[in-house]
Chain A
């Protein structure tokens, strides 16, 4: 009988969102395959992952009913917790651990938290917004649940590259704000295109009887933006960073209210 060589599978995947490659390791090859499917388009072959997370899958039935996310800084590490996961991450070692249910949605939540923490230090943020690139420029459509983020995304014309219908990724590079594609999707259930472009306008969405665009300035614009930035860490330094970033963003990027009727005609205004 010919010799059989057991080849140890590398049970990991590197997910790179916003240029930040995160290696996710798990003993369960089936879960790693789920990760690879879920984050297709955002997988990196890079061996130079900047962050490393070990995932331990909890037995079914061990999750609690707590639906609130708790994020706290404790003894040099971030602790993140919800009913379906418990995670810790040490920024100085760039390593972390995640105990979670066998669901990519739990991992999705941990990644959103980690990215908010990473982005805050760089002057960026995650925003409740759909976003798309058209003619080389990014347009953000922000609002609370039901405001029309997914509707706008669904109505996008063929020449618009959809970055997300749910959570927009905003980075600050050389004094400019860019929108970056994410795999974080909402009702559209479609992974955004892995592209980036300078942000042309942030639209705050409202539904109405006719399409119209109105300028928003000063406190109104800041309030609209801050009301839609994802906050997880109840940490004074992070809140101050997000606050500062919101003012800087509004000073550099036009903010407008977009009232629209839910049909494709709204995109005639987005040029």
Chain B
């Protein structure tokens, strides 16, 4: 059985896109993160209901010349890193309420 991973932006952040990058500030410790172009694509698509592999297939592999397996592996590393900092929620279940209740971005 195939497992899916879902990602949603935390509520306790402020974020804004600036060109190809996205700046995210954690409200819990005021740490500032600058997401590169690929991480920004994942961030923008992290609606809590779209599985990560779909985000990779539809938003990354269609825009960048990268093999799907390698892209998914990179994406998983990115979301785990961001989740470790508490600015992204990661689950094997949809996260619609958490991800959309307040939007999370400015």
Contact = CB atoms under 8 A, between A and B. Distances in A.
Contacts of A222: 18, 23
Contacts of B21: 219
B32 A234 contact: no
A235 B23 contact: no
Interface string B1-45: 000000000011110101101010111111010100000000000
Interface stretch (A1-9, A56-64, A158-166, A223-231): A223-231
A234 B29 CA distance: 6
Interface residues of A, number: 15
A231 to B, nearest CB: 5
Contacts of A226: 25, 32
B23 A223 contact: yes
A243 B29 contact: no
A219 B39 CA distance: 15
A19 interface: no
B34 A223 contact: yes
Given A240-B14, A243-B25, A223 B32 contact: yes
A51 interface: no
Contacts of A234: 27-30
B106 interface: yes
A218 B19 contact: yes
A19 to B, nearest CB: 27
Interface of B: 11-14, 16, 18-19, 21, 23, 25-30, 32, 34, 106
Given A219-B23, A219-B34, A247-B18, 8 more contacts: A223-B23, A227-B32, A234-B30, A236-B11, A236-B13, A240-B14, A240-B27, A243-B25
